[in-house]
Structure 1
Amino acid sequence: MSSAGKGARRIVIRRSRKAHPVHHGGAWKIALADLMTALMALFLVMWIVSTASPQQLHGLAEYFRTPLAVALSKGDRESASTSVIPGGGADPAHVDGERARVDLRSQRLPDDTRRTFMDLRFRIESVIQGDPELWEMRDQVRFELIPDGLRIQLLETDQRTMFQLGSDTLVPEMQRLIRALAPLLNQLPNAVSISGHTDSLSYAAGDSGYSNWELSADRANASRRELMAGGLQSDKVLRVTGMGERVPIPGSHPGDPVNRRISLLVLSEEAADRIRAGGRTEPLQALQER
């Protein structure tokens, strides 16, 4: 081999290979479709909420707050729920939610009677929820099942009064609320007992003159007249009493506004019969358990 052949350079030709795209599948398309569907649903809900009335918004909020078991039982919230109208518990002034409390004594009511009373409560709540003016007073209404029936308490608060100071004259808002209850009470054959209560603030003359005894009785009677004006059948009222300041709300200070209240008791047949017979409104055993 010649020397010229030995010194010749080797020529190397490099050719690039064409890269073929790797197929990754269509999973990303499914994820994108899910995202767009969720966004569309979100904007649709936001549009509906922006065009809804206050009453519809309250109904929507209650729908998402009410457990399925409660909805199926038409509002029986004794065991578990958050009601639009707080109820139960020892302190009716508590408005941050319902305090769960099982009143064992209420189990003495027959099941059909309990269902009847809870249905009445549900209808009252529905009326309050559907009226913007009554909705503003929802924190002033309390429900409680007791051995004698369904107790509906109408309370004063620091922000809202029921009566003019030292008077049996109802404020217009409370007149509207009491009259709204009358047609619902007429739907049941049960009799009604009305009692008035005051706080511990007494008159200058004490009990020797016009006192909290007379004031509470006058307020109970004023509430009876408003129920009559709302259409309540007069024969349904079995008793009207004034309790003065002697029965404050359990756990409250005697001077608290919640003690200025009207208590409407929808009586069970047994309790009504005891009152007509001149007996106690509760069995002696129930009184001893308190």
Structure 2
Amino acid sequence: MSSPRRAIVIRRPRRVHAAHHGGAWKIALADFMTALMALFLVLWILSTATPSELQGLAEYFRTPLKVALTNGDRNSASTNVIPGGGADPAHSDGERARIDLKRQSRPAEERQRFIDLRQRIETVIQADPRLRDLREQMRFEMSEEGLRVQLMDTDRQPMFELGSDRVSAVMRRLLHTLAPLLNDVPNRLSISGHTDSLRYARGDSGYSNWELSSDRANASRRELVAGGLDSDKLLRVTGMGDRVPVPGSNPGDAVNRRITLVVLSDRAAARLQAGSRPDVIDLPSQRVPD
């Protein structure tokens, strides 16, 4: 008797197709590539921008959005009806204060004025063959006080005779060139003289670096006025001796023999005229026991 035939079972694996996950990853990748391209584009633009354009760009991002939209100064970011508070403008005192506030330069406008002044100074000096070499002896700095222009001395090209306030010919020409440019801005001016740490034989008991720095500052003032500077623009002329060396320099280096011209901001000039400093605190008087 024949054995029953065994059934042949063929097992075929079922092919399960994965569910469609959508294209969200493609959108995320596209956004990432777009942002990356924008970053490289910004970096390329910054690498080709001039220093003045970079300063203007930095000032743009420092300005609050509310101030930029209202085309006002930073005080307009205040929630008060009157910028910075104060008296009611309906009264004479408040109205006068409001008018004075309008007359003041906005910080952004004043900063741009300083940038333009620096560019004019550099252009004029570069165009004069006799002053072109002095560009390396000039430093420009922007600070809260204003635009600082430092005229550095060197052993190769001194601006004053050694140990004297006699102005050299090239320094005189430089100051006469700067005078009309400084007249073009309404800001007041401060002049300070500095020396190196080399002391006189008698030290500070006789004629010293204090007198020398003051004499050189006043000699520079006279040359500026002779070059056409309006003397009413001068607000301060001081001698600092050797007490404020250039950061990172040796106190005896020639760069510390310098004249510093500061085109003062409106706020810095107002503080000087008021005879006050922002870091001075009036302490209450105390009765001294008898």
* TM-score of the alignment, normalized to the shorter chain, above 0.5: yes
Q: Which amino acid aligns with 2:49?
A: A
2:50 alignment counterpart: 70
Is contact 2:190-2:234 (8 Å) kept? yes
Shift of 1:279: 1.3
Partners of 1:173 and 1:76 lie apart in 2 by 31
Residue of 165, 168, 174 corresponding to 1:168: 165
Q: Which amino acid aligns with 1:277?
A: A
Partners of 1:78 and 1:220 lie apart in 2 by 35
2:126 alignment counterpart: 129
Partners of 2:169 and 2:57 lie apart in 1 by 32
In structure 1, the residue corresponding to 2:130 is in which secondary structure? helix
Q: Is residue 240 of structure 1 aligned with residue 220 of structure 2?
A: no
Q: 1:133 to 1:76 in 2, by over 3 A?
A: farther
Query: Where in structure 2 are the equivalents of 1:62-211 lying within 5 Å?
Result: 69-70=49-50, 73=53, 76=55, 110-211=107-208
Partners of 1:192 and 1:169 lie apart in 2 by 22
Q: Which amino acid aligns with 2:274?
A: A
Partners of 1:179 and 1:78 lie apart in 2 by 33
In structure 2, the residue corresponding to 1:207 is in which secondary structure? helix
Q: Which amino acid aligns with 1:183?
A: P
Shift of 1:77: 8.9
Query: Where in structure 2 are the equivalents of 1:228-267 lying within 5 Å?
Result: 228-267=225-264
Q: Is residue 284 of structure 1 aligned with residue 264 of structure 2?
A: no
Partners of 2:230 and 2:181 lie apart in 1 by 11
Shift of 1:68: 5.0
Measured against aligned partners, the alpha-carbon deviations of 1:32-78 in whole angstroms (never above 9, x if no partner) come to xxxxxxxxxxxxxxxxxxxxxxxxxxxxxxxxxx97532883x8499
Long gaps (5+) in structure 1 = 1-65, 80-108, 286-290
Shift of 1:284: 2.7
RMSD (Å), alpha carbons:
2.1
Residue of 206, 219, 237 corresponding to 1:222: 219
In structure 2, the residue corresponding to 1:248 is in which secondary structure? coil
In structure 2, the residue corresponding to 1:284 is in which secondary structure? coil
Shift of 1:130: 0.5
Measured against aligned partners, the alpha-carbon deviations of 1:223-281 in whole angstroms (never above 9, x if no partner) come to 0000001100010000000000000000100000000000000000110010001112x
Shift of 1:159: 1.4
Partners of 1:270 and 1:72 lie apart in 2 by 23
Measured against aligned partners, the alpha-carbon deviations of 1:86-138 in whole angstroms (never above 9, x if no partner) come to xxxxxxxxxxxxxxxxxxxxxxx922111110000000000011011110111
In structure 2, the residue corresponding to 1:275 is in which secondary structure? helix
2:268 alignment counterpart: 271
Q: Which amino acid aligns with 1:242?
A: G
Partners of 1:227 and 1:162 lie apart in 2 by 14
Is contact 1:70-1:77 (8 Å) kept? no
Partners of 2:162 and 2:275 lie apart in 1 by 34
Is contact 1:193-1:264 (8 Å) kept? yes
Superposition TM-score, scaled by structure 2 size: 0.62
Partners of 1:153 and 1:192 lie apart in 2 by 13
Partners of 1:77 and 1:251 lie apart in 2 by 28
Superposition TM-score, scaled by structure 1 size: 0.62
In structure 1, the residue corresponding to 2:49 is in which secondary structure? helix
1:92 alignment counterpart: none
Long gaps (5+) in structure 2 = 1-45, 59-105, 281-290
